Chain A
């Protein structure tokens, strides 16, 4: 598949500081690509370079095969949906959407027709004459996206546009954005620090940290097969143990945690016997009171609290050494008897735990 955006060794330096450090990636046409990272990781700088607001220190940005090095933002076939949307308050909804079309020299009737068609597409038919301030948060969102999509950009860039919305609306907009992208087929590049947004909406996600991409992959890959400890910690929740590798083979490694548990798990990277390693385990990988303990890593914990959150409910448990662990609590009524203070056995399959060489050691 042809890629709409191709970035090669892109670097941005601010003095000594490298905000974006040798980043390379391709975005296939028509896909939803997210860049996920904590604040200050350089994702906004990366996006602004693609939009043309910042010049790169080195590297190449190509959009549909064309080098963008000397192309000004108003000549690039990309449009940006701003974090705070940046709708023009002095114009009506229709004028906002028509703004880009008029800059391309389109005339009255044609502009009106396209604006109305676009409003229809984002589910706001007849909203043209309204003032921007009359719209709700979700409607403003859609106008901001419509304003860009009406120009039929090669790539639509979105800079955390859901950040300012309240939770309920955000959940709703996530699904809506995904549907909209599927409908219009434009390539979306979405940056966010919210992993749930990235996982729900994207075809592919890049996890960014300190100016570098740690991993690019499908959401399932990032969650199931994190390539680095950072991805394991940042995407989804994880329990972490530190320990020493006692044995390793092709199938995995055996690790003795600092509390004395001996666990078998899969190994990522060089986990040599005798070395330090960190073990990552998802809350939902642990089974409470497993009926068949054969081949599982099992240990006993004390329930400290029940963190009820519907389908996402978990138990806060502690081992004897006061190491806190989150264990997911399926809401199938089987575990209704569990109460704080109780001692339970927890087991997990060696395939669901991941060992990384301890940071600083590799």
Chain B
């Protein structure tokens, strides 16, 4: 009994240390920093001014709302694309093909996100591959700027997130007994009813965990919105970056970081409430 407790402590120690040193400690530091500021005399004091700035300056909270909205849209689009893809991989494809399809999904992730985004930029930019073919086919006279728009940015975000939705969905769909689908069909259900009443309720845990991961990754993504979104598509992470790196205002940046954390927690809590699930059930 005593021995096993010691062993437990030994194995737990690195995890606890990791949690404390890399997550708790920096966050406490950030929290303290976000509450510090300079008064009129240039003295360092405790203040809520950093948080007040966010609410008084429209560009900040507008970016904030925009980021949240687009992250939700990206998650929804990713889900809509991932659902049939996962169904095909888990239920329709033969076992041999299944593995190959999963590898195809994984393959783009062997290169860094930066390279993947540049790939899209080569395709979409004014002098890009797509425009070249559009011009060749005579569909347009002048090259169309497809990059640096919100649509391009969402495209990039969905592409980056796909895998994280497909993997949990494939695994829950694998556990769905085919005879349940056949039984529903036999009892008079059409295709959409089967999706609505059998497949989606069965896949709920996978959908939730996939959606949480995709949402978090999208919300905290910096590279894709920055490169593909252009100047008008501000992402909240860019605001944080600007505060830290451009303005050297670490206090303001910390406050923004905390607001982002609060936002993602709030939206996930809301999503779980709406789908009547508990985080513990999803994780298990």
**Beyond the given A73-B186, A103-B190, could you list 18 further A-B residue pairs with CB under 8 A, ordered by the A residue number?**
A52-B186, A53-B185, A73-B185, A74-B187, A74-B188, A79-B186, A79-B187, A82-B182, A86-B177, A86-B179, A86-B182, A88-B197, A100-B187, A100-B188, A103-B187, A103-B189, A103-B193, A148-B187
Q: Does A179 contact B (CB under 8 A)?
A: no
A129-163 toward B: CB 8 Å interface, digit per residue (1/0)? Answer: 00000000000000000011001000000000000
Q: Does B183 contact A (CB under 8 A)?
A: yes
B189-210 toward A: CB 8 Å interface, digit per residue (1/0)? Answer: 1100100011001100000000
Nearest neighbor of A79 in chain B, beta-carbon distance: B186
Residues of B within 8 A of A100 (CB): 187-188
Q: Which residues between 140 and 196 of chain B lie within 8 Å of chain A, taking CB atoms?
A: 177, 179-180, 182-190, 193
**Please, could you name 21 A-B residue pairs with CB atoms under 8 Å apart, sorted by A?**
A53-B186, A73-B185, A74-B187, A74-B190, A79-B187, A80-B182, A80-B186, A82-B182, A82-B183, A84-B177, A86-B179, A86-B180, A88-B184, A90-B198, A90-B201, A90-B202, A99-B187, A99-B189, A100-B188, A103-B193, A148-B187
Q: Does A207 contact B (CB under 8 A)?
A: no
**Could you tell me the distance between the alpha carbons of A53 and B179 in the complex, rounded to whole angstroms?**
11
Size bracket, chain A contacts: 20 to 34
Residues of B within 8 A of A354 (CB): none
Q: Does A113 contact B (CB under 8 A)?
A: no
Residues of A within 8 A of B182 (CB): 53, 73, 80, 82, 86
7 nearest A-B residue pairs (beta carbon) = A103-B188, A100-B187, A86-B183, A86-B179, A90-B201, A82-B179, A74-B188
Q: Does A107 contact B (CB under 8 A)?
A: no
Q: Which residues between 89 and 107 of chain A lie within 8 Å of chain B, taking CB atoms?
A: 89-90, 99-100, 103-104
A191-234 toward B: CB 8 Å interface, digit per residue (1/0)? Answer: 00000000000000000000000000000000000000000000
**Could you tell me the distance between the alpha carbons of A74 and B186 in the complex, rounded to whole angstroms?**
5
Residues of A within 8 A of B201 (CB): 90
Size bracket, chain B contacts: 10 to 19
Residues of A within 8 A of B180 (CB): 86, 88
Most buried by A among B180, B183, B186, B198: B186
Q: Does A51 contact B (CB under 8 A)?
A: yes
Residues of A within 8 A of B183 (CB): 80, 82, 86, 88
Residues of B within 8 A of A74 (CB): 185-190
Tell whether A51 pairs with B186 under 8 Å between CB atoms, given A84-B177, A86-B180.
yes
**Could you tell me the distance between the alpha carbons of A236 and B277 in the complex, rounded to whole angstroms?**
54
Residues of A within 8 A of B189 (CB): 74, 99, 103
Nearest neighbor of A53 in chain B, beta-carbon distance: B182
Residues of B within 8 A of A52 (CB): 186
Residues of B within 8 A of A151 (CB): 187-188
Most buried by A among B177, B185, B201: B185
Residues of A within 8 A of B177 (CB): 84, 86
Contact in complex: B198, A88 (CB < 8 Å):
yes
Most buried by A among B177, B184, B193, B198: B184
Residues of B within 8 A of A88 (CB): 180, 183-184, 197-198
Nearest neighbor of B201 in chain A, beta-carbon distance: A90
**Could you tell me the distance between the alpha carbons of A178 and B8 in the complex, rounded to whole angstroms?**
58
**Could you tell me the distance between the alpha carbons of A151 and B183 in the complex, rounded to whole angstroms?**
13
Residues of B within 8 A of A73 (CB): 182, 185-186
Q: A164 to chain B: closest CB distance in Å?
A: 12
Residues of A within 8 A of B198 (CB): 88, 90
Q: B194 to chain A: closest CB distance in Å?
A: 9
**Could you tell me the distance between the alpha carbons of A72 and B198 in the complex, rounded to whole angstroms?**
19
**Could you tell me the distance between the alpha carbons of A6 and B266 in the complex, rounded to whole angstroms?**
62
**Could you tell me the distance between the alpha carbons of A53 and B181 in the complex, rounded to whole angstroms?**
11
Residues of B within 8 A of A147 (CB): 187
Residues of B within 8 A of A83 (CB): 179
